[in-house]
Amino acid sequence: MRAWLALFSAIVCEVAGTLALKFFGASVPLLAAALTGGAVVASYLLLSLAFRGIPVAVAFAVWEALGLVLITVLGVWLLHERVEALQVLALGGLLLGARLLHRGTRLRPVRRRGEAI
């Protein structure tokens, strides 16, 4: 459960950093760089924690898919960006792919270097 909490927190950090870049990039570039850089670092640190309990392929797929969906939804809502039907279909494909990876991957205990099999 902690791994999933870390993963979802990593997604929130990544989305926040991306939005900071959009909102402050042109007007206050140093603030945008600081907020985005901090959010990206936090996102990767949290993602590394998620890897301890979630297979890498699953965690990365969920991180990417949900991050893209959230950025798209927030772009439509906050920035009044347009989304075409093909883009919605693509986002659905990403979510489906992440779900299929999750269903097809059985979590095995992570072995440490030098540990007996």
Residue bearing tokens 């772009």: 75
Tens of pLDDT along 14-54?
A: 999 999 998 888 889 899 899 999 999 999 999 999 999 99
When mean pLDDT is compared across 59-63, 89-93, 100-104, the lowest value belongs to 100-104
3-state helix/strand/coil string of 23-68 = HHCCCCHHHHHHHHHHHHHHHHHHHHHHCCCCCHHHHHHHHHHHHH
The structure's pTM equals 0.81
**Cβ density class 13-27: b for 16+ within 10 Å, e for less:** bbbbbbbbbbebeee
Q: How confident is the model at residue 26, as a pLDDT?
A: 81
Where residue 4 falls among pLDDT bands split at 50, 70, 90? very high
